Structure 1
Amino acid sequence: MTDIKAIITGATGMVGEGVLHVCLQDPRVSAVLVINRKPLGIQHPKLREVIHADFFDLSAIESLLRGYNACFFCLGVSSVGMKEPDYYRVTHTLTLNVATSLVRLNPDMTFCYISGAGTDSSEKGRSMWARVKGKTENDLLQLPFRRAFALRPGFIKPIPGLQNAHSFYNYINWLFPLGRALYPSGFCTLTELGRAMIHLAEEGYDKKILSGKDIIALGK
């Protein structure tokens, strides 16, 4: 596949904004549709934006979602301060609702889900967020997409100049070179993450669940 037409969710967050930035610069990506609750304020010849508030009901915009062969799902929330039913609804139920709609509309699609290092594929561990992410991964990988992948980055170094990097990265970015040297699987750049997702859409991969090392290798 050399003509990638991608849907991106979560483009108003740090990861989604970075993945969008990489896609708009990459010649392998010919079109991008972002689905947001609020406007991005970005204009680009490749970019189309749909404002839609309810990700649990996509029926009003389904006609706009056809004709895409990749989805880079970057939408997510922190589990800090959330009870498990609420986190499950936003992390699992919402994600599966979007994915189920997309696979029905675009069965030839490659679906790439941003998960996280430490996710629990057994769904039985003590960490609530890791169990929920694990179940989300497991259920996504069972859907009849052409291909589906879960990416598990650890520390992600933001792309300089973008708007939505978390402020605490300003204080800890100095750790990145040291962390990359000592524990390379746990430290990737946002550019590498975006490029890895494009590679997955274009060529696939021999693993369904990608670690930080896989992301770095594909993101070169």
Structure 2
Amino acid sequence: MEMRSAIVVGATGLVGSTLVKQLCESDEYVAVTVIARRALDYSHPKLVVRIKEFDALAESDMEFAHEIFCCLGTTIKKAGSREVFEKIDVEYPVQIAAMAKNRGIQHMIVISAMGANEKSFAYYNRVKGKMEKELIDIDLPQLSIVRPSLLVGNRSELRIGEKIGAAVLAVFNPLLIGPLKRYRSIKAEQVALAMIVIALYHKNTKLAIYPSNELAQMTPPELEEEPEMKREDLFNWNKLQSGNVLDEEVTFDKSKIKQYKVERDTPKD
């Protein structure tokens, strides 16, 4: 597999920070560029961090990469208003997607949410649905939308509602079977891993949407072990056993060696 480069936007969040570490530790990626509004608490020889306000982001700030991962997302409480919330969750991803397309980046993998639907009665799901629709309308070469359920992990900020929800689902997850599997909580590390698996191995789908239960099952394919070379495979012993002899020209012959030494030591006219 060819060595790859990636861009990550939204690298300071729960999934984004985990994704950056996994990309840097992956043998398949040789370069990882992060576009962020502040510095990261993580460094790696493969990693380049570009500090940039998204309102001032230009195409020239975005070099070519094989994939761009968009992990942008916030809450209304943290954003302070619906206007700011929609700017972060809709406007920025759409602007970044358009720039990526113009820069020749072939694949965008973006985090949405379970239940995303622009016609939903729930405001949050409606905003995520709007983001998905506008990204689809851009007509990217390849777009992968991941829809995780409630994310589990150590956030830098405290979200009481998510803490309670995660505690409840930790008890009920085993009871959610069949069609209800999609409602199980999912670890941020697994979502990040699933995004990398999608980038590396899901090549032929122009548009794909992955629900949480599918993300939970994604792992890199196991590499096939090369069969151990047996001694009998290294040399065909049957030829000797059948009475065949080696080619006369390469048969070890001491007399030829003596003849060669005489010819070599005999002075020439």
Q: TM-score, normalised by structure 1?
A: 0.83
Q: Which residue of 1 aligns with 2:41?
A: 41
Q: What SS does the aligned partner of 1:131 have?
A: helix
- Evaluate the alpha carbon distance shift between residue 22 and residue 180 of structure 1 in structure 2; reply closer, same or farther with a 3 A threshold: farther
**Structure with the larger RCO, 1 or 2 (CA within 8 Å, 6+ apart):** 1
Q: CA deviation at 1:200?
A: 1.3
For residue 180 of structure 1, what is the amino acid of its counterpart?
N
SS of 2:217 mapped into structure 1: helix
Which 4+ runs in 1 deviate beyond 6 A?
169-172
Work out whether 1:216 is the aligned partner of 2:216: yes
Which letter does structure 1 place at the counterpart of 2:60?
Answer: S
Which digits, 9 at most, give the CA deviation of each residue in 1:13-59, with x for residues without a partner? 22211111222222222211111111113220110000002x13322
Question: What whole-Å deviation, never above 9, does each CA across 1:124-163 have from its counterpart, x for those lacking one?
Answer: 222122111101111212323231111111122226xxx7
Shift in alpha-carbon separation, 1:142–1:219, aligned structure 2, 3 A: farther
RMSD of equivalent CA atoms: 2.6
Alignment CA distance shift 1:179-1:46 (3 Å): farther
Residues 166 and 9 of structure 1: CA distance in aligned 2, closer, same or farther (over 3 Å): farther
Q: 1:177 Cα shift?
A: 4.4
Indicate the residue corresponding to 2:245 in structure 1: none
Count of aligned pairs between the two proteins: 211
Structure 1 counterpart of 2:173: 180
What residue in structure 2 maps to residue 154 of structure 1? 149
Shift of the 212–179 alpha-carbon distance from structure 1 to 2, 3 Å rule, reads farther
**Aligned equivalents of 1:67, 1:90: Cα separation in 2:** 23
Gaps of 5+ in 2: 221-269
Q: Which residue of 2 aligns with 1:65?
A: 62
Unaligned residue ranges in structure 1 (runs of 5+): none
Larger Rg: 2
Q: Write the letter of the residue equivalent to 1:117.
A: M
> Bigger shift: 171-180 or 194-203?
171-180
Classify 1:165/1:196 alpha carbon distance in 2 versus 1 (closer, same or farther; 3 Å): farther
Pairing 1:75–2:72 present: yes
Distance 1:84 1:3, change over 3 A: same
Aligned twin of 1:114 = 111
Q: Aligned with 2:191: secondary structure?
A: helix
Does residue 1:164 correspond to 2:156, yes or no?
Answer: yes
1:37–1:51 Cα contact (<8 Å) kept: yes
d(CA) in 2 for partners of 1:164, 1:58: 25
Alignment partner for residue 132 of structure 1, among 127, 133, 156? Answer: 127
205-214 or 96-105, which moves further after superposition?
205-214
Of Structure 1 and Structure 2, the greater helix share is in 2
Give the letter for the 1:118 counterpart.
G
Conserved 8 A contact 2:67-2:105: no
